[in-house]
Amino acid sequence: MAYQFLTVRREAAVERVTLNRPDVRNAFNEQVIAELAEWARGAADDTGLRVVVLAGAGKVFSAGADAEWMARMAGYSQEENVRDAARAAAMFRAINALPCVVIGRIHGAALGGGSGLAAVCDIVVATDATLFGFTETKLGILPAMISPFVLPKIGMSAARELCLTGTRFSAARAREIGLVHAVVPEAALDATVQRYVDEALTAAPTAVAATKALLPQVWGRAPEEVAERTAVAIAVQRASPEGQEGLRAFLEKRKATWAP
């Protein structure tokens, strides 16, 4: 698919996906959502893909949902409105469920759905000047589709404060509440992202995919409820070719075949 608002650059097992609608600060309308969803569908089936870096072109990462697009929705039927919102929800779900490591490279601002995109990344590196915010309530709307991804990241207490006020908050605060993992000066952004990319490439691809699938199934459940599921997960993986290779490489004091 030829994208209008996404730039996709592939280098071996790493794909760099950049939101490219800088004149409106990478706000996403139906076209951006369709392109992200289409890209995520392909990425999910791409067994050679191990790391994704999600970034934004221009001054900011993303100003979230396109206000013009949402304002137009008043002219749509309730049914059309729900269908349209469901497509955005599916886009967030698709990125969230990618079996590879997704790293957010965030600068400038990540507001509304932009902070939602940060929440579906596994690792988020932000510049120290980045502003975050679940600003929807300030615009008379609400952080609905992103809430299933935001809540597990920042917890109910921070979500109630930040979503109910719509206040903008610093990268340092975003790190404190678990939305961001590293805060760096702008000049160190790419090098820090690259360190995470390199680190991610040392983890085994199917082990990463299995871990990413397992964590949400275990989260919030009692240990005895997930005992069988977790036992099966490790049993399958340690007997797999990748599990065998990883364990043998460790015992033989050599790099595993998947490590760069």
Contact footprint for ligand COA (CB under 6 A) = 24-25, 27, 59-60, 63-68, 109, 111-113, 135-136, 139
Q: Which is nearer to ligand COA, 110 or 193 (CB)?
A: 110
Q: How far is the CB of 33 from ligand COA (least distance, A)?
A: 13
Identity of the residue, 24 or 57, whose beta carbon is nearer to ligand COA in the bound complex: 24
Task: Provide the minimum distance between the beta carbon of 168 and ligand COA in the complex, in angstroms, as a whole number.
Answer: 8
Nearer to ligand COA, 14 or 65 (CB): 65
Rounded-to-integer distance, Cα 40 and Cα 93, Å: 9
Residue 133 or 243 with smaller CB distance to ligand COA: 133
**Closer Cβ to ligand COA, 95 or 111, answer by number:** 111
Number of separate helices (H) and strands (E) present in the chain:
10, 9
Cα–Cα distance for residue pair 134/112, rounded to 1 Å: 5
Give the nearer residue to ligand COA in terms of CB position, either 99 or 112.
112
Are the C-beta atoms of residues 64 and 88 closer than 8 Å to each other?
A: no
Q: What is the DSSP string of 188-254?
A: GHHHHHHHHHHHHHTS-HHHHHHHHHHHHHHTTS-HHHHHHHHHHHHHHHHHSHHHHHHHHHHHTTS
User: In degrees rounded to 5, what are phi and psi of residue 202?
Assistant: -85, -10
Rounded CA gap, 235 and 254, in Å? Answer: 23
Nearer to ligand COA, 25 or 50 (CB): 25
User: What minimum distance in Å lies between the beta carbon of 25 and ligand COA?
Assistant: 4
CB 150 to ligand COA: min, Å: 13
In whole angstroms, how close is the CB of 167 to ligand COA at the nearest point? Answer: 11
Say if residue 41 is exposed, middle or buried (CB neighbours under 10 Å; 0-12, 13-18, 19+).
Answer: middle
Q: How far is the CB of 96 from ligand COA (least distance, A)?
A: 19
| Minimum CB distance to ligand COA, residue 155 (Å) | 21
Q: How far is CA 151 from the centre of its chain?
A: 14
Residue nearest to ligand COA as judged by C-beta position: 112
Torsion, CA 165, CA 166, CA 168, CA 171, rounded to 10 = 90
State the pairing for strand pair 51-56/101-106: parallel
